[in-house]
Each structure stands twice: as structure tokens, then as C-alpha cells.
Structure 1
Amino acid sequence: MTTPLPSWPPRHADRRTSASRMAVPREPLDPARTGRRWVRRRARGMTADAAVAALDVAPFDTQQNSRFEDLAGDERGPAERGEWEWIARLLADAPPGTAYDPDTDDVVRAELTADAREAGLRELGA
């Protein structure tokens, strides 16, 4: 004699609430901020020449993205290009051979401080 297969989904008498699996509210997505952070990760360790080369490619990427309907009005492309311009200027003013490090960039540190302050205020308000 064969044993019957268990029912699917399993039936348990002690149903638990899914409170531990509830979605946590997140901050809204900011495409421009995402683009700037992507550029900073890419630029880590780049010299001035490499940053200028990346800046030369940025308009092409923005133009390619504009061909897609869902990306045509996206702020990410212009934000990425602006960040490449900032990094290229920063490295052009630095001594030769200096590599970009977002951890030492004052603009990045100010942005992270503002983000932490906003997160603290959201936490207090929640």
C-alpha cells in the first residue's frame, strides 16, 4: 500500500501572521542620485585622462538612452554627465597622477551627511 502525498500547500493549524515579512517603506527612487552614485563607483581610481575619456562617452550614452521611450525624459543621463564633468574638473585641478576617490570628495561627503540627516528625520517622524 502506498502512502498518500501530503497536501499542497501544507495545512497548519497554527497559522502565523506574516508581520515579519511585511514590506518596509522605502524612500522614493531618485534616478539622478542613482546616476551620480554609479558614476562615482565607476570613477574610483581613475586619473584625469581616464575621466576625460569617460566624459567623452557620456553624451553618446545619453543620446542612446533618449531613443527609448521610457528613458527619454529620465534625469539619470544628464546627472551622470554632470558628475563626469565635475570629476574631470576636480582631477584637472589636482596634481598630476591623482586618482579619484569618492571618500575624499567634499561634495560626496556633504551629500552623504544630508542623506543621513534626512534619514534621521524620517525615522523620528515615523
Structure 2
Amino acid sequence: MSSLWPPRHTARRPVPRAAAPREPVDPARIGRRVVRRRAKGMDAGAVAQALEEVRFDARQDSRHEHLADDERGRAELAEWERIDQLLAAAAPNAVYDPDTGDDVQAELAAEAAAAAAREAELREAARVAAHADELQALCELGTLEQTEPREGDEAARDELTRRAGSYVQKDVDAWLAHALAGHRGHYADPAARAAADRVAAPADRQGSGDPAAQGE
């Protein structure tokens, strides 16, 4: 049987990085923004005329099967109708100003919050990827077992698994299991040990009488 620890040195291989999440394209949102830019400064008469033109285009498009599911077109029509109703209920000579509409501001706030969440996701993905690179380098240098585990190791281990299956992961699994059994690093905290219960002991340690394994 091969030695239990440390794991054997593994040859370096190129490992693919995860693609950064991209902002989803929202045709309806694009359509609403186009309408608001065009309608800005229009009075009720101008909006009513634009609405009739859009309705005519929608009727024409409905005759073509490939345009039947035009999400952006439907959103533009709905936005013109909303603005038309808004000005109909407004004071005489009022003009449309998207910068003062409560619903527009609420939508912009929601979009800003979504953008902030995506940015936070990007930062976290970059942090995990960098830590995965660090663990991979330590494995290749044969010095992983000399490293104290810290918070975030499990996420980095999962990133290595996603990148290349079992490559490096077995070394990291063994290192984490030994650290967990010995309560090393952040595993000195009982809460961290409880959260890491999915880290399985290496198969060649099970039933071996290893004191560290029995101490789990």
C-alpha cells in the first residue's frame, strides 16, 4: 500500500479557469429604456401619436411568425401605453420626464442592486479562484501538508474539482481530512468542524487505526 501522508507529488497540468458571469441581456428592459429616451420632453399629443405608430407596427409584426415572440416590441408598446396614461392624468401641458417617475426610479434602484450583487459575485469568484491557484501550487511544490488550513479552503477545493475533476482534489481532500481530524487551523473552531462534515477521510485511512482518524 502506498504511503498515507504526505500525498505523492503530482505533475503540473494546465487548469481551466471559470468564466466570469456575464450580465444577462434583458430585451424588455432595453425596450423600456429606448421608449423613455424617445418620450422624454414629449407632451400628451406627441406621445399619443407615437403610441398609434407603435400599435400599427405591432399589428404588422403579428402577421409574421418570426416576430410573434418579440419581447422587446411588447415591452416598448406597454411602455408607450403607460406613458400615455400617465400624461392623460397629468396637468395640462405636462411633458414626460423619466427622471421624476417613481416607477422608473424604483426600476433603476432594482437594477443597481442587481448590478451590485453581480459585482459581489465576481469578487467572490475571483477570491475563490485565487485561493484554488494557491492550493494547486502548494500541491505541486509538495508543501501543502505544511500549511495550516483556513476559512475558504473548502470552496477552493470545490473550484479545483470543477476545473479538473479529481486532479489535485485527492491531495486537498487528504490534507483537509487530516487537518479536520487534528483540529488544525480554523478547524480548531467547533463550528468550522461542523460545517466541514462533508470532508471525507481518505479511503486508505479508514480502519487503519490512525489516531487522527479515531480522534474525529
Whether TM-score is above 0.5 comes out as yes
Query: Per the alignment, in what secondary structure is the counterpart of residue 46 of structure 1?
Result: coil
| Residue 63 (structure 1) aligned with residue 55 (structure 2) | no
Q: Distance in 2 between matches of 1:38 and 1:76?
A: 10
- Once residues 23 and 66 of structure 2 are traced to their aligned partners in structure 1, the CA distance between those partners, rounded to angstroms, is 22
For 1:16-95, what aligned pairs fall within 5 Å after superposition? Answer: 26-95=22-91
Q: Distance in 1 between matches of 2:93 and 2:82?
A: 17
Amino acid at match of 1:106: D
Rounded Cα–Cα distance in structure 1 between residues aligned with 2:34 and 2:92:
24
Q: Deviations over 1:40-89 (max 9, x none)?
A: 01100000111111111111122333455543311111111110111011
- List 4+ stretches of structure 1 deviating above 6 A: none
**Aligned with 1:121 (options 99, 111, 117):** 117
Q: Distance in 2 between matches of 1:77 and 1:95?
A: 29
SS in 1 for 2:42: coil
Instruction: Work out the number of aligned pairs and report it.
Output: 104
Match of 1:100 in 2: 96
How far off is 1:121 after superposition?
0.8
In structure 2, do the counterparts of structure 1 residues 28 and 71 end up closer, same or farther at CA, with 3 Å as the change threshold? farther
Q: Verify the 8 A CA contact 1:61 1:77 in the aligned structure 2.
A: no
Point out the more displaced range, 72-81 or 108-117.
72-81
Runs of 5+ consecutive residues of structure 1 not aligned to the other structure: 1-22
Please identify the structure whose Cα radius of gyration is greater. 2
Name the CA distance, whole Å, in 1 between partners of 2:103 and 2:81. Answer: 13
Report the TM-score, using the length of structure 2 for normalisation: 0.45
- How big is the shift at 1:110? 0.5
Cα deviation code 1:13-59 (max 9, x no counterpart): xxxxxxxxxx9753121111111111101100000111111111111
Letter in 2 for 1:65: D
User: d(CA) in 2 for partners of 1:105 and 1:89?
Assistant: 13
Task: Name structure 2 gaps, 5 residues minimum.
Answer: 1-18, 123-216
State how far apart, in whole Å, the 2-side matches of 1:35 and 1:54 are.
14
Identity of aligned residues (%): 59
Alpha-carbon distance between aligned partners in 2 of 1:32 and 1:68, rounded to the nearest angstrom: 20
Q: Distance in 2 between matches of 1:78 and 1:68?
A: 15
Aligned residue for 1:58, secondary structure, equals helix
